[in-house]
């Protein structure tokens, strides 16, 4: 089953239909496929692909996935019998052109633009992966840490101002999504 609205594809695959909260903003050009759940006031920006045919993808409330990002997951293997779902918490900022694959982002995590987060990697609450970084398989960024580079490594702890800046970014994207939703539905 395939639905297209404003050049959005929401595709049922393997008996799984994406579940998208009615208050979420899905921008034109997005492709959302399979076992995907998107929470309240989340925003999925232009030309993102979220594909979950071998496991699940969960995106929490008020989380934003910015333009051109790709989210996938990984199925069971002999080494990981549950595979690697991609689980993204509430109030998460995901920059433009990010690749998330089989990873976990806790509430209020931040992933900088053009970064990659691989299977089994975890970014905890109020932690940040810098732009252009690659967080390799199984690595963990703990609360309030900044990691950068490829492969990513610890740089420093984040101060209160940096954490507050991330929270302001979340609020901005919730409001910005409302403006884009109005503009794209009236076009």
Q: For residue range 82-120, list pLDDT tens digits in order.
A: 999 999 999 999 999 999 999 999 999 999 999 999 999
**pTM exceeds 0.75:** yes
Q: What is the pLDDT of residue 3?
A: 43
Q: What is the pLDDT of residue 4?
A: 44
Dihedral sign, Cα of residue 132, residue 151, residue 91, residue 94: positive
Tokens 């030309």 map to which residue?
A: 47
Q: For residue range 112-135, list pLDDT tens digits in order.
A: 999 999 999 999 999 999 999 999
* Residue 25 bridge partners (DSSP): 43
Residues 109 and 115 sit within 8 Å (Cβ to Cβ)? no
Give the other-Cβ count within 10 Å of 166's Cβ.
18
Q: What is the pLDDT of residue 187?
A: 55
Q: What is the pLDDT of residue 6?
A: 64
Question: Dihedrals φ, ψ of 172, to 5°?
Answer: -60, -45
> 10-residue block means of pLDDT along the chain (187 residues)?
64 96 96 98 97 98 98 93 97 98 98 98 98 98 98 98 95 94 80
List Cα–Cα distances, 71 to 47, 145, 184, in angstroms: 12, 23, 23
List Cα–Cα distances, 37 to 10, 58, 175, in angstroms: 12, 5, 21
Residues 6+ apart with CB under 8 A from 28: 6, 7, 8, 46, 184
Give the Cα separation of 165 and 172 in Å (integer). Answer: 10
User: What is the count of structural domains for the chain?
Assistant: 1
Q: Which domain holds residue 136?
A: 2-186
- Share of the chain residues as helix, strand and coil, in percent rounded to the nearest 5: 15, 40, 45
Q: What is the pLDDT of residue 81?
A: 93
Residue 88 belongs to a domain with what CATH number? Answer: 2.160.10.10
Three-class SS state of 33: strand
């Amino acid at each position: 089953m395939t639905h297209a609205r404003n050049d959005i594809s929401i595709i049922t695959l393997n008996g799984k239909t994406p579940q998208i909260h009615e208050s979420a903003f899905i921008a034109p050009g997005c492709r959302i496929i399979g076992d995907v759940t998107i929470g309240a006031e989340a925003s999925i920006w232009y030309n993102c692909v979220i594909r979950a045919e071998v496991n699940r993808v969960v995106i929490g409330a008020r989380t934003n996935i910015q333009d051109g990002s790709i989210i996938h997951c990984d199925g069971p293997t002999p080494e990981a019998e549950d595979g690697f779902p991609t689980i993204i918490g509430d109030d998460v900022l995901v920059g433009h052109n990010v690749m998330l694959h089989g990873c976990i982002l806790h509430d209020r995590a931040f992933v900088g633009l053009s970064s990659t987060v691989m299977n089994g990697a975890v970014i905890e609450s109020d932690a940040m992966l810098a732009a252009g970084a690659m967080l390799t398989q199984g690595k963990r960024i703990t609360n309030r840490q900044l990691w950068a580079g490829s492969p990513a490594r610890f740089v420093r702890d984040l101060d209160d101002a940096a954490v507050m800046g991330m929270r302001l970014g979340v609020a901005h994207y919730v409001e910005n999504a409302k403006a884009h939703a109005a503009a794209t539905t009236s076009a």
